[in-house]
Amino acid sequence: MHTGKGTNPEWNENFVFTVSDRTTDLIIKLMDSDTGTADDFVGEATIPLEAVYSERSIPPTIYNVVKGEKYCGEIKVGLTFTPEDTRQRGLPDDCGGWKQSR
């Protein structure tokens, strides 16, 4: 849920992602929300994960949102990394990352 609809929305949401050690970037794709029609792609922000892996967290930081090569605005995101021992969860060693369903 967001507030400040329009040009300055605020989400204030927490998300949990499982990633493999081969994941180098988090790509956030932003969509608008339309009633009665399909949502439109607004743009995306790419967040390098190297710093969050080494520091375990990064404070809220501003990242550019782009659509193609065109600057569309900014998004502020803070990240925390918590290493997980996959053996304790019974997952295969190569498990991790998000995969889009078909």
Block residue for tokens 């339309």: 34
The answer as to whether 75 is a domain residue is yes
The answer as to whether 9 is a domain residue is no
The answer as to whether 88 is a domain residue is no
pLDDT digits (tens, 9 = 90+) for 27-60: 999 888 777 888 888 899 999 999 999 999 999 9
The answer as to whether 77 is a domain residue is yes
pLDDT value at residue 33: 77
Residue range of the domain that includes 43: 25-83
The answer as to whether 55 is a domain residue is yes
The answer as to whether 64 is a domain residue is yes
Please tell me which residue, 25 or 84, carries the higher pLDDT value: 25
pLDDT band at 83 (very low <50, low <70, confident <90, very high): confident
How many domains does the chain contain in total? 1
The answer as to whether 53 is a domain residue is yes
The answer as to whether 10 is a domain residue is no
Residues 6+ apart with CB under 8 A from 60: 76, 77, 78
Q: What's the CATH number where 65 sits?
A: 2.60.40.150
Indicate the pTM of the whole model: 0.69
